[in-house]
Structure 1
């Protein structure tokens, strides 16, 4: 287990009103060898205006594993998650220091389009957000339409089926693909959003409390989906549910913001070790429910 280290140059991020975001990319492709989905955040600090919310966060996210970000509300977990696919820059006045590397390439490099970064690093939000005017079928393909990806009808059909299978939803919806996605239950809508993210072929999938609005049965199904797809895509999940973190993740990072200070990583390491023998007493207090 390791702690965060120092930070460096501050980047002022452009404000974006809506849409996929500014065209402000990362380095020339092809320099990092095989693409595996390994994320590395190095000395990341973040501000909203003058308020610093993260301080010198360094974290290695291994490929094809589930990493859980844990910690009390207000410690910067969701901000850090959004930095990992350039959503932090959607906030006017947001600033960032440090680097985020995907398979060795800086996702904030001026040569990398923001849409490319977000295609490689997908996001599933806390509240399911299928497009209400679209069918289940069209919801799955929505990301391809936004990126201008084309294909034959048979290719699209195969992609819809494979994405829904991977999201654990195919058997429940295969006979009603033309019905609105918004007609599904909350748990099904969340899995539809997972299928929509998977359809564009991300290397990393970020999840911001994906089960917080779901009932226990739907939560169990989403957790099973996470475990089933983790062998093919790197997953980073923010959760306040310690039992969930213990069930689904391979490693945890414990964030904490104390006495008005910005959030830091107190400790991170294998999930079993974080829960059974943490190195910091604050980690032990949090994972065992003594605060937060």
Structure 2
């Protein structure tokens, strides 16, 4: 299988929407964990969020598709804008927001006893999308193609999703998210539990999706951030200061020409 085999099946939408936060702060009870985070995540690009553990990156990611509010005692201030519209505006249903802003988690979470086919189709069911069998078949195939998995599983669509390798399971989860045609895909350390070969496959999938989607990825792997992203934001926190962005910009500038010494130290591996 070559990249060309996958690329020819991916249709780009007419419009790709970017994501932006303005002055986002977050709390868990009385504890403030993020402080006035403003960031533009350009349409059709991959934005990497980097920084030490505990600086609020994953919390920020979950704020972007309204998963933060599912935690008891969680609080939020500021705006999250998709295509210029606040996803937290009164009357906005969280389920509809999550359909447009999908999430892939740190560890693959397919439904293990459910077939590969049904795992992808479950994305439609969870989003409340009803389609006929022919259209569902097409959506499953297209989603698996876009996730770079079709050539590996097309002869075992009825096999359990849990029988796939770890890397294949992660791409199956990506396919499930893609089935509902989201505008944005959030990825929370999607390769941290994978071996190098599986990591490469997931990174290839990210590259194939770039341009079709806006992607935001949390990673502790500096080399991965450089490989997959076009823009980057460095988060930092301390024991008495909530997480905030120290520096953001193009990935090349942040790694090669950082403006803040703390950024330079972190990307060089001198702390964190």
Q: Same fold (TM over 0.5)?
A: yes
- The answer on whether the counterparts of 1:72 and 1:240 sit within 8 Å (CA) in structure 2 is yes
Structure 1 range deviating more: 186-195 or 151-160: 151-160
Counterpart in 2 of 1:39?
A: 19
1:68 matches 2:48 = yes
Runs of 4+ in 1 over 3 A off after TM superposition: none
Aligned length: 259
Deviations 1:131-150, CA, capped at 9 Å, x for gaps: 12311001001121122211
Measured in 1, the distance between the counterparts of 2:240 and 2:106 equals 25
Counterpart in 2 of 1:146?
A: 126
1:285 matches 2:265 = yes
CA drift at 1:110? 1.7
Corresponding residue SS for 1:262: strand
Counterpart in 2 of 1:113?
A: 93
Counterpart in 1 of 2:57?
A: 77
- The answer on whether the counterparts of 1:69 and 1:236 sit within 8 Å (CA) in structure 2 is yes
Measured in 1, the distance between the counterparts of 2:138 and 2:119 equals 14
Measured in 2, the distance between the counterparts of 1:91 and 1:167 equals 30
Measured in 2, the distance between the counterparts of 1:249 and 1:111 equals 34
**Ranges in structure 2 where 5+ consecutive residues have no aligned partner:** 1-13
Counterpart in 1 of 2:193?
A: 213
Deviations 1:171-221, CA, capped at 9 Å, x for gaps: 100000011111100000000000000000000000000000000000001
Deviations 1:145-184, CA, capped at 9 Å, x for gaps: 1222111211111111110011000010000001111110
- The answer on whether the counterparts of 1:249 and 1:271 sit within 8 Å (CA) in structure 2 is yes
Measured in 1, the distance between the counterparts of 2:39 and 2:128 equals 33
Counterpart in 1 of 2:7?
A: none
CA drift at 1:35? 5.3
Measured in 2, the distance between the counterparts of 1:211 and 1:260 equals 30
Deviations 1:50-93, CA, capped at 9 Å, x for gaps: 00000000000111000000000000000000000000011000
Counterpart in 2 of 1:127?
A: 107
Q: RMSD of the TM alignment (CA)? A: 0.9
Measured in 2, the distance between the counterparts of 1:260 and 1:285 equals 21
Measured in 2, the distance between the counterparts of 1:233 and 1:222 equals 15
What is the TM-score of this pair, normalised by structure 2? 0.94
Measured in 1, the distance between the counterparts of 2:187 and 2:145 equals 19
